[in-house]
Amino acid sequence: MRTGEPYGSGGSLLISRRELATRIDELAADISSRYASQERPLVCISVLKGATFFLADLIRALSIDVAVDFMSISSYAASGPDSGVVRIIKDVDEDIAGRDVLLVENIVDTGLTLTYLRRTLLARQPRSVATVTLLDKSARRIVPVPIEYAGFEIPDVFVIGYGLDHQALYRNVPDIFEVPDIAALRKDPALLVTSLFGSQRD
Ligand code: PRP
């Protein structure tokens, strides 16, 4: 299947698993070479849940040893979705003072989450903090935020698959699909399940 080709009813392929694998190898090579000479292993920190798919593939493509840790955060509902006000539900286990940290995100949209994470981690005196994101939806940015490594720049479209969900569905679709009719998906969250899981993809 070629990128952009309509798939089933209502989803079109945006980035295939082959394109993902190729780009992840390229990112991994850049990251490996940047951190190859460090004394202590790089700490890769991912935010639950969607970014864990990218994290798992990225770190297995690295040629350096790394530590892996996770955070879970939640927006304060009362502050509104675009407030950038979040609370930590699960913090990292590693002491990152003096360490090189790589934040591993699957998508940067408004930039509010990444801004919060960077501020929180930088306050702990790491040696450095850099970010790799698989997808960069820069058209939606509210706050500018540094991104050292970005896999794909994508337009302002709703995407599912490879960790990206809609109401907890579609995370384990191996490719990334664009949803042109988000209103239909909101009405019926399981609308694309049969088409995305029911057929053979290459
Ligand atoms: C995604 C992504 C980032 C955040 C980016 O997580 O992993 O953490 O959105 O959005 P922002 O730039 O607008 O702040 P999401 O909220 O979808 O949580 P999930 O991974 O658990 O589905």
Q: Cα-flanking dihedrals φ and ψ of residue 105, to 5°?
A: -115, 155
pLDDT at 139 over 60: yes
Spacing, Cα 167 to ligand 1 middle (Å): 13
Tens-digit pLDDT profile for residues 155-185: 999 999 999 999 999 999 999 999 989 999 9
| Ligand 1 mutation pick, 49, 107, 167, max ligand atoms within 8 A of CB | 107
Instruction: Determine which one of 57, 100, 109, 175 is catalytic.
Output: 109
Nearest alpha carbon, ligand 1 atom 6: 50
Among 197, 40, 44, which Cα is nearest to 130's? Answer: 44
Nearest alpha carbon, ligand 1 atom 22: 50
- Locate the ligand 1 atom nearest the alpha carbon of residue 107 and give its number: 2
Q: Average pLDDT over the chain, rounded to whole?
A: 91
Tens-digit pLDDT profile for residues 56-96: 999 999 999 999 999 999 876 556 666 667 889 999 999 99
Q: Percent of the chain, pLDDT > 90? A: 82
Among 45, 191, 53, which Cα is nearest to 113's? Answer: 45
The predicted pLDDT at position 140 comes to 95
- For residues 61 and 31, give the distance between their C-alpha atoms in angstroms, rounded to a whole number: 10
Tens-digit pLDDT profile for residues 142-161: 999 999 999 999 999 999 99
Ligand 1 pocket at CB < 6 A? 47-51, 105-114, 165
Can you list the pairs that 152-157 forms with residues at least 24 positions away whose Cβ atoms lie under 8 Å? 152/15, 152/23, 154/14, 154/15, 157/14
